[in-house]
Amino acid sequence: MRKVFILLLFLPGLIAISGCDALYVSQEAKVSLPFGKSYTYDGILVTRAVDGDTLKLENGERVRLIGIDTPEMHESSKLYKDSQRTNQDIRTIQEMGRKAYVFTKNLVEGERVRLEFDVEKHDRYDRLLAYVFLKDGTFVNAEIVRQGYASLMTYPPNVKYADEFRKLYQEARENNRGLWKE
C-alpha cells in the first residue's frame, strides 16, 4: 500500500500531515516521519524456515526459493496431488517434507542473507521469488538441491540457474543423497 503525504509550509516550520502515522513538527523545516525501517535484501535476516523451500524474513516478507520444490509437510491440495502423481502415500511425502524443512532450517534460520531476483519478483501469493545466498557465498537454492532435499521446479521466465540446478539434481540422485537415500 502506498502512503500519501501532504506537505504544507507554515512559518516558521514545516508540517507533514499523514493519514496513518505520527506527525512531527520542526522549527527548522525538517520533518522526521517514523514509517518504519527500509529494507535492502543484502544482509537481511532469515527469522525462520517456513518449509523446505520458503523462508520468512525479519521484515515479515516470505521468500519462495526459485527453481526448487521440496515435499509438502502440511495438509494441502498439493500434498494430495503429489501423492497421486508419485504413487507415494501421504505420510511418506510428509516425512520427506520434514527432512527437507530441517535441512533448510539448519542452513538458513538466524542467518543474514542476500537475495537475488530473476525476471519476476513476486509469485501469485505475493511471496518474493528469489535466489538466496549466505554471507559466506553459499547458494542456498543450489545447496538444497545438491544435498538431495529438493526436486526441480522451473517456471519461465525465472530460469537463470535452471541448468545448474539440473546438474546438481542429477548428481544428488546418482549419489543417493538426502531424500534419494532410500
pLDDT, tens digit (0-9, with 9 covering 90-100), for 58-115: 999 999 999 999 999 999 999 999 999 999 999 999 999 999 999 999 999 999 999 9
C-alpha cell at 68: 526448487
pLDDT tens per residue, range 108-155: 999 999 999 999 999 999 999 999 999 999 999 999 999 999 999 999
Name the residue ranges covered by the structural domains of the chain: 1-36, 42-181
- CATH number (3.30.420.40, 3.40.605.10, 2.40.50.90, 3.30.1180.10) of 42-181 reads 2.40.50.90
The CB density around residue 11, as the number of other CB atoms within 10 Å, is: 7
Q: State the catalytic residues.
A: 64, 72, 127
C-alpha cell at 120: 519476476
Strands 5-9 and 54-57: unpaired
